[in-house]
Every structure is written in C-alpha cells, then in structure tokens.
Amino acid sequence: MSTYLRQLAAIVRKDLVLEFRSKDRLVAMGAFAVLAAVLFNFSLDNASVRPRDVLAGLVWMTLVFGGLLGVGRTFHLEAEDDAFRGLMTSPAPKDAVYLAKVVVNFVLVYGLSVLALGVFSLFLAVDVGANLPGTLLVLALGALGFVALSTLFAAVSTGTTMGETLLPVLVFPLLLPMVVFGAGATGRLIAGRPFAEVAGNVRVLGAFAVAAVAAGAVLFRFVVEE
C-alpha cells in the first residue's frame, strides 16, 4: 500500500473508531431520520396526499438536514487536545485528510439516507423494491456530492465564531442543483419509472459529485492552513 493510501486509511479508521465509540453523530443523525418518519407518518393525510408522491422529497430532506447535523461536527473530533494541529503537522497531505473525512462522512450520510428510505417506506407503506438498485445509486451519488461540499464548508465554518450554524447558509445554495436532480430522479424511480428515464439526472449527479470531490481536495489546504 502506498504511503498516501496508508495515511488516508489511518485517518478513516481512526475517525470510524472514534465515531462508533462516541456515537455522537450516529445517534443525532439516526434519531433525526426516525423522528422525521414518525412525525410525517402522523401528519400526512393519505386521503389527499399519496405517500409515494412525497417519499423522495422526505428522503432527500432527511439526507440534507440530517446530513448537515452530522457533517457540521466533522472537525469536532479533532478539536479536543488540538489534535487537528497534530494532523496538520504530520506528513499526511491535506488532500488525504480531506478525502478521508469525505469517506467517513459518506459512510454516515449514505447510511442515513438508506435508513431514511427504509423507515419512510415502512411507516408510509410504500413499496420501493421495484427500482431499489437505481434508487440506492442515486442516493449514493447524492450523498457523495453532498458530503464533498459540506465537508469542505464544515472546515470553513468550524474556524468561525458562528461555528456549525454558518454551514447551512454557506452550503445550501451550492447544493440546490444536486437536490433538484437527485430528488427528481428518486421520485421517478420510486414511482416505478424505468431507470433509462433518469439516466440524465444520474449523469448530472455523478458529474456534480466528481467535481465537488476534486474541488474540495484542491481547496481544502487553503481553508485549513494558518
């Protein structure tokens, strides 16, 4: 394994171990998904609104808001004992640090979106099995684009006096195109439309995710260097 990959893997492993030991973000994000599903289960009037028509919006709402809840705290793991400076003064390249954070956040946010899809479909009694692989692919690309941007901006907002409250203000406008294409594709797949109908949306989501990861990897060092 090259040194770069070893450094990246070490940061990923460390963050996942810390995450599963502290459970801070896991509990916050999981509770948000379940609570949102419970609330919408009671508030939706099935006579006037078909659950299948709103399911994609609810899943994407959970991905974005629940995701921000978790991603906003990305660098809190490093705040204790000034560990981030230890990371920054190590030979690990800044882009490896960023990519490792993206990998860990992707695991959390994609897990959240799959959980949201599961609990919403269960509570609202919607069968999502017909296009499940396609739906999972759309959510994966959406989660990747989302964490690529929000991880970069989490690094920006952590260094400000407003902290994580600034994150939604910074990141929402940039996420809008991805959410529009992602929610649209997810809605059509849940409605049972063929995958070919959303292939264009999927390509846009993929391009967005790749561009966001590349931009984040290049820009991260300008955000974190003193």
Partner 1 sequence: MALEARDLVREYGSVVAVDGIDLKLAPGEALTVFGPNGAGKSTLLGMLGGAMHPTRGTVSIGGVAIDPSVTSWRHRVGILSHRGFLYARLTAAENLRFYADLFGLDDPEARVAQGLGRVGLTDRARTEARHLSHGMKQRLSLARALLHDPEIVLLDEPYTGLDPSAAAVLRNVLGELKDGARTVVVVTHNLREGLAMATRVAIQLRGRFVWEGAANDLDAVAFERHYHETIEVAA
- How many angstroms separate the CA atoms of 42 and 52, rounded? 15
Binding positions for partner 1, 91-110, rule CB under 8 A: 91-94
- How many angstroms separate the CA atoms of 96 and 101, rounded? 9
Tell me how many residues contact partner 1 (CB under 8 A): 29
Rule CB under 8 A: say whether 221 interacts with partner 1. Answer: yes
- How many angstroms separate the CA atoms of 81 and 174, rounded? 33
Spatial contact of 198 and 134, defined as CB atoms under 8 Å apart:
yes
Per CB under 8 A, the segment of 18-26, 149-157, 161-169, 200-208 that binds partner 1 is 18-26
Other CB atoms within 10 Å distance of the CB of residue 224: 18
Rule CB under 8 A: say whether 163 interacts with partner 1. Answer: no
Q: Smallest gap, in angstroms, from Cβ of residue 23 to partner 1? A: 10
Q: Smallest gap, in angstroms, from Cβ of residue 69 to partner 1? A: 20
Rule CB under 8 A: say whether 80 interacts with partner 1. Answer: yes
Binding positions for partner 1, 47-76, rule CB under 8 A: none
Residue among 177, 185, 53, 41 at smallest CA distance from 120: 41
Q: Which of 31, 39, 90, 194 binds partner 1 (CB under 8 A)?
A: 90
- How many angstroms separate the CA atoms of 19 and 181, rounded? 31
Rule CB under 8 A: say whether 161 interacts with partner 1. Answer: no
Query: Where do we find the tokens 């991880």?
Result: 151
- Interface with partner 1 by CB under 8 A: which residues? 3, 6-7, 9-11, 14, 17-18, 21-22, 77, 80-83, 85-94, 221, 225-226
